[in-house]
Structure 1
Amino acid sequence: MEEDDRKRRMALISIVLRSRHQIILKTGTEWEIMLNWSEATFARHLRISKHQFEYLLTKLQENGLHTDHTQGRTPVPDTKKVLIFLWYMANQNSFREISDKFDVSQSAAHGIIHQVLTIMSGIGNTFISWPNACEKAASAAAFHRVCGLDGVIGAIDGCHIRVQRPPIRGGDYMNRKAYYSVLLQGIVDDRARFIDIFAGPLGRVHDARMLRSSTFFTQWQKMGERCLLGDSAYIGHAFPFIKTPRRDNGALTVEDLRHNSKISQGRVIVENAFGRMKCKWRCLRDLQNTRIDIVVMIIMSACFLHNMCIAASAVCPEHRLAAQGRTITMSRLIFTVEKLLNIFTLTMHSLSVVIDVYLLYSVCTNDNVLPKLNASPFSSPQYGFEQLNIYFP
């Protein structure tokens, strides 16, 4: 009897293996359990809180996420669609893994993610907007406390998003770091919240050229008397609204070094914003898509989600200690540099006083020193010490 049952099972297995239809085993039939996770577990896997999840679900439903069921298979619930979208954004899973995780086909997973991305791209003004007068004043005060510069309401920089080589003009996406990428230009306020973004340029494009191609460049007059902080890529007369560091040509003064230090202290916030976004929404670390329109929608959606989360969690929980360590180290470094600059200034001032006293003493005690005052080898401007117009025997 047992031998017959074993033979029947083996025969059924052989029939299944010889079948032309693909047999897919789904393990994610109990996806509803995600909604019963604790707050910490939910945020660790989906990168947002339950309250933010409900807010995002409501916004998407208001803009056309829901689908009416007329005939055929039961459609995927809206809650499940948002869970699939967030799982895709927060991880580096393939569509095969997502289809197994949520018990849907690969084509359905792709269609759901594309549907949500399309809706997200249409409601960008809900998450990113240019600050009003009160917000500008608050940002200017915050940047003044951080770096000591007046009139600054934000920081601007570019970021590379790694992609697969596109089929059209693929070589143009190779950047100077020798990998294919799409550029993202971001302007952030004092809270590292995006107030303007521009995504899609080729990876080989320079940051200055990307800024000239953006819509913000044609509307920068809306800043009024305010300005932004930028790195050396934006040095030039074409960007009068950006404060940039002075080029290090080997002749920077103490004041120039202090100015560059202030620029760096304020500008680092935009680099931190890019780092936090890539840490939280990990699909940006290596996008496997080759369609640039979808890549741009993914980047924009990540920026929208970043702004939605920035008020509740400014630092990724997994990297909070590392961020605090870097902040403490940078603060100590800045304090040390400023202290050394102050010591150098005091030393030069003391040296000048000593030389003045020596000159006065020499004039009073030795009249022969007077004819030598204009015959000094230090009188050349190349030394930068024109006050040492005396030859020391």
Structure 2
Amino acid sequence: MDASMRTCLLFALSEHKKLMNRFLVHINEEAEEQKKRTRVATAAILRSPHRVTLKTGAKWEVMLNLDDDTFYRPFKVTKRQFDFLLMVLQQQGLKRQKARGQPTVPVRIKVLMFLSYMGNQNGFRDISDKFDVSESTAHKSVLEVLAFFSTLGPSFISWPNASRKKTSSAAFHKLCGLDGIIGAIDGCHIKINRPNIRGGDYMNKQSFYSVRLQGIVDEKERFIDIFVGPPGRVDDARMLRASSFYADWQEKMGEYTLLGDSAYTDPFIITQKCDNGDLTQDEQLQNSRISLGRTVIDQAFGRMKCKWRRVRDLQNTRLENVVMIIMAACFLHNMCIGDDEMCEEHPEGCPRQTDDHV
């Protein structure tokens, strides 16, 4: 090959390389632009109050391709948490099923609709619009996931073993200066409609109908025991005695104790002394430490209701589904503890609702 031919070949190779580089840059720019268009389109879909005509399944497939931050906003979980929840539910037996004359609903859609339901106060019409399914399909799918999820208690809530108790005790000592504490206990109210049977039993002291939730949380605001279902008129002490935890409290507590409010009189719960103006400095300090330690249960209830907004008010929900929804909110709360971003609405911590503790 002569010199001129070699020069032409080298020039051609050089130009080819430049063209390829420009082409790759163009491809990358196109990919980024496509991602941007997808995010914008999905955000519009999620905000839209009306159904947008798309091919079947297009909406939820776009949702699953969102980046973590965008995915988190409507569904309240990260994509990793979603994948974990999906796996657990499928292992439990949740399947893609086809009703006669209706299209199949993939398990992923069912779980997305369930999360949308739990994280908001929207109705099934809004969910059906968002996911391009009928209202009856949305309703059936959410209740199906809810029924499966409510059976998974041990997977999300469990009493601490000896090692975990020791860790919690050390953490509470660091938090409030008290020894031998492994948790805080309290009850809260969930609003409901007046039930048809024994409706008066559900009227609480603040004159609204409610179902009670008893929670015990550790230093991380994680539920380690829950009891759901007593009617609103039942006070904290009676609710504790009716719970399955109370039947085994000696075995579960051992040498440790819980922090609680003045409603509790049991020996394994430390409460504040009544301040009539005659408390000693040591007693006042003890009260302050108990109050500081009990903040974890207030924050747990506040965080759960702030994030899983469905449990803020269940007045339009059938009583037989209320308990399952409350349990599901507690399970989801525990699943997300440790991985949550700071609450944008309450960066200093989610407060309890004013009518939550009656």
TM-score (norm 2): 0.79
Secondary structure of 2:314's aligned partner = coil
Residue matched to 1:323: 349
**Deviation per residue, 1:217-249 (Å, 9 max, x gap):** 111012100010001111x2xx11101111123
Residue 305 of structure 1 pairs with residue 332 of structure 2: yes
The aligned runs of 1:1-393 (5 Å cut-off) are 26-27=51-52, 29=54, 30-69=59-98, 72-221=101-250, 222-234=252-264, 236=265, 239-313=266-340, 315-320=342-347, 322-323=348-349
Please give the alpha-carbon distance, in whole angstroms, between the structure 2 residues aligned to 1:293 and 1:275. Answer: 24
The one-letter code matched in structure 2 to 1:323 is G
Answer with 246-255 or 278-287: which moved more: 246-255
CA contact (8 A) 1:28 1:100 kept: no
Instruction: Return the offset for 1:199.
Output: 0.6
Instruction: Return the offset for 1:68.
Output: 4.8
Aligned residues: 297
Instruction: Return the offset for 1:317.
Output: 3.6
Residue matched to 2:13: none
Over 3 Å counting, the alpha-carbon distance change for 1:293 and 1:315 in structure 2 is farther
Please give the alpha-carbon distance, in whole angstroms, between the structure 2 residues aligned to 1:28 and 1:277. Answer: 35
CA contact (8 A) 2:159 2:225 kept: yes
CA contact (8 A) 1:128 1:304 kept: yes
Instruction: Return the offset for 1:314.
Output: 6.8
Please give the alpha-carbon distance, in whole angstroms, between the structure 2 residues aligned to 1:89 and 1:278. Answer: 10
Please give the alpha-carbon distance, in whole angstroms, between the structure 2 residues aligned to 1:135 and 1:267. Answer: 19
The one-letter code matched in structure 1 to 2:211 is V
Instruction: Return the offset for 1:120.
Output: 0.8
Answer with 61-70 or 277-286: which moved more: 61-70
Please give the alpha-carbon distance, in whole angstroms, between the structure 1 residues aligned to 2:302 and 2:207. Answer: 20
The one-letter code matched in structure 2 to 1:233 is A
Residue matched to 2:4: none
Which stretches in structure 1 are left out of the alignment for 5+ residues?
1-24, 327-393
Instruction: Return the offset for 1:290.
Output: 4.2
Please give the alpha-carbon distance, in whole angstroms, between the structure 2 residues aligned to 1:167 and 1:191. Answer: 39
Over 3 Å counting, the alpha-carbon distance change for 1:98 and 1:28 in structure 2 is farther
Instruction: Return the offset for 1:198.
Output: 0.3
Instruction: Return the offset for 1:98.
Output: 1.2
Over 3 Å counting, the alpha-carbon distance change for 1:28 and 1:255 in structure 2 is farther
Percent identity between matched residues is: 59
Instruction: Return the offset for 1:45.
Output: 1.2
RMSD (Å), alpha carbons: 1.8
Secondary structure of 1:232's aligned partner = coil
Instruction: Return the offset for 1:97.
Output: 1.4
Over 3 Å counting, the alpha-carbon distance change for 1:208 and 1:174 in structure 2 is same
CA contact (8 A) 2:262 2:271 kept: yes
The one-letter code matched in structure 1 to 2:275 is D
Please give the alpha-carbon distance, in whole angstroms, between the structure 2 residues aligned to 1:233 and 1:263. Answer: 14
**Deviation per residue, 1:354-374 (Å, 9 max, x gap):** xxxxxxxxxxxxxxxxxxxxx
Which stretches in structure 2 are left out of the alignment for 5+ residues?
1-49, 352-358
Over 3 Å counting, the alpha-carbon distance change for 1:68 and 1:161 in structure 2 is closer
